[in-house]
Copies of this chain bind each other. A is one copy, B any other.
Amino acid sequence: MPHQHAYDLGLDKNEANYVQLSPLSFLRRAAQVYPDSCALVYGDLRQTWGETYARCVRLAGALAAHGVGAGDTVAVMLPNVPAMFECHFGVPMTGAVLNTLNTRLDGEALAFMLQHGGAKVLLVDPEFAPAIERALAMLGDRRPLIIDVEDANAPTSRRLGTATYEELLAGGDPHYAWRLPADEWDAIALNYTSGTTGNPKGVVTHHRGAYLNAASNAIGWGVPHHAVYLWTLPMFHCNGWCFPWTMALIAGTSVCLRRIDVAQIYALVREHRVSHLCGAPIVYSMLTNAPEALRQGLDHPISGLIAGAAPPVAVIEACEAIGISLTHVYGLTEVYGPAAVCAKQPSWSTLPAAEQARLNGRQGVPYPLQETVAVIDPATLQPVPADGRTVGEIVFRGNGVMKGYLKNPEATAEAFAGGWFHTGDLAVVHADGYVKITDRSKDVIISGGENISSLEVEDVLHRHPAVMLAAVVAQPDARWGEVPCAYVELKPGATLSAEELTAFCRAQLAGFKVPKRFEFGEIAKTSTGKVQKFILRERSRSASAIE
């Protein structure tokens, strides 16, 4: 037994000095301190924090009355509507775990998740009822209780369940005695990550991490009280990088949005003086490439977090030019979304815009309340030198790291090998300590023994004035093993030939890095705007077979 000193004797935790960390405390405080401040905007709806709290308590009461409690799963198939926001509080208030389903998914994948996650209740938006119906048909008898979340803005009014969300709430006990989790290590959310092979893995996050990540978002991004946040990022994507909980912490206003529409975005930004938004590079590309008429009358500064892929330098530059100040963050679902940030150095502000954009395009340093981001040699687990050249794997350590994968001990053990969370992303460390992804492991193109960074080639393509979006993948090649193949989406009205683009690349890249094939047209993207490289790889494989 270790020696006990005076600072431990009789100075134990008690009810007064130790409270389990949970973002549910943020909701309670927002409702207590700012009951009349606006929490949610959606169409004509304006809902205060006081009202939001009352509705979340009713939701929790209603779920509890249906037998939902600690360790149960409540799944939702919802766009960014107010009910989705409320579920981030009402579900964990019962002790249950919120499982947000990706609304782009269909039958089989959804059936797997509902079964694997063991959802007891499922909330569905009418637009996604057909996909859910196909999934339920595969589930057989083990159907969860279905609740329809009606929405006048949905394209259909299709119903699957026996009760609507509003009926559920109306029946919920308005005085339901919700409690903080028994332990801050208890699960709060379940998010399935879509792998390119095998079954999806269920990332389980905990209350402690959700609390600290929310605070880290507020501190790292300097989000002020009552910020107005536009929901361009799906809440099903890593709990909207956990911003529902950040918004409660700073008692901000969430402007909801069913789908990404650039005209509507600009209208909402103008009407509500939106101050903050998050998104993948494609969201910002859309904003910067929108007709100038849409941007009329916008005179207030906007802060954007950008993540989801390495942000093209051109996008960062274009955003700054129209008054959107971007902060680049990096993370994965396993680390609550942002877990590294490209923290802006005071000294950068005097550099040329292009240089600033280059510096801001790096993955950076640990998020304020995350402990460590490191780049290690996968074999020795030792950090690589900060020389900007030696490639290693990005790993994380800190309180913003998941509990593990649900019912998947092998994947969990692999992810945590050696006491680090392994991202699978390859990177170098620059002399200033900033991490820079060279490539997601699977994005390296190996051509004639030379490694080609698809990101490097994409960065060059994005510099062409006619290019809206570019994605480069490996195409099997009989002679070289692999060669780069580029998928290119042009700006509205622009024209460009493969020859012109080849010449443009030749002027800036080594010959072996210039794409050998260009395909023009819309690029396959996930609902979060992430380019679906695995689809492009399929296509380039087929193309190579045909050739």
Chain A positions near chain B (C-beta within 8 angstroms)? 3, 5-19, 21, 25, 29, 32-34, 36-37, 70-72, 97, 118, 185-187, 190, 204, 209, 215, 218-219, 222, 224-226, 249-250, 343, 345-347, 365-366, 368-369, 371, 395-399, 401-404, 406-407, 409, 412, 416, 419-421, 433
Most buried by B among A16, A18, A416: A16
20 pairs of residues in contact across A and B, judged by CB atoms under 8 Å: A6-B407, A7-B204, A11-B187, A11-B204, A15-B420, A16-B395, A16-B397, A16-B401, A17-B398, A17-B399, A17-B401, A18-B399, A34-B345, A36-B347, A215-B219, A215-B369, A218-B219, A219-B219, A222-B222, A226-B346
Closest to A69 in B: B5
CB distance from A243 to the nearest CB of B (A): 15
Q: How far is the CA of A78 from the CA of B118 in the complex (A)?
A: 60
CB distance from A157 to the nearest CB of B (A): 35
| CB-based contact B16/A396 at 8 Å | yes
Give 14 A-B pairs besides A6-B406, A19-B397 with Cβ atoms closer than 8 angstroms.
A6-B118, A7-B190, A10-B404, A11-B412, A16-B395, A17-B399, A17-B416, A18-B399, A32-B365, A33-B433, A34-B343, A215-B215, A215-B369, A226-B346
CB distance from A413 to the nearest CB of B (A): 9
| CB-based contact A368/B17 at 8 Å | no
Q: How far is the CA of A13 from the CA of B29 in the complex (A)?
A: 28
Q: How far is the CA of A10 from the CA of B414 in the complex (A)?
A: 13
CB distance from A345 to the nearest CB of B (A): 7
Q: Which residues of B contact A398 (CB under 8 A)?
A: 17, 19
Closest to A225 in B: B222
Q: How far is the CA of A215 from the CA of B334 in the complex (A)?
A: 23
| CB-based contact A224/B222 at 8 Å | yes
On whether A343 and B407 interact (CB within 8 A), knowing A17-B399, A419-B16, the answer reads no
Q: Which residues of B contact A412 (CB under 8 A)?
A: 10-11
| CB-based contact A399/B19 at 8 Å | yes
| CB-based contact A71/B406 at 8 Å | no
Q: Which residues of B contact A187 (CB under 8 A)?
A: 7-8, 11
Closest to A222 in B: B224
Q: Which residues of B contact A21 (CB under 8 A)?
A: 399
| CB-based contact A250/B219 at 8 Å | yes
Q: How far is the CA of A226 from the CA of B369 in the complex (A)?
A: 17
On whether A16 and B416 interact (CB within 8 A), knowing A7-B406, A224-B222, A346-B37, the answer reads yes
Closest to A397 in B: B16
On whether A368 and B29 interact (CB within 8 A), knowing A7-B406, A37-B346, A409-B10, the answer reads yes
Q: Which residues of B contact A185 (CB under 8 A)?
A: 13, 18
Q: Which residues of B contact A18 (CB under 8 A)?
A: 185, 399
Q: Which residues of B contact A218 (CB under 8 A)?
A: 219
Most buried by B among A5, A6, A15: A6
Most buried by B among A37, A186, A346, A402: A346
Q: How far is the CA of A345 from the CA of B209 in the complex (A)?
A: 29
| 4 A-B pairs closest in CB distance | A5-B71, A15-B419, A17-B401, A11-B403
CB distance from A132 to the nearest CB of B (A): 22
| CB-based contact A249/B29 at 8 Å | no
Q: Which residues of B contact A37 (CB under 8 A)?
A: 346
| CB-based contact B29/A366 at 8 Å | yes
Q: Which residues of B contact A366 (CB under 8 A)?
A: 29, 32-33
| CB-based contact B16/A420 at 8 Å | yes
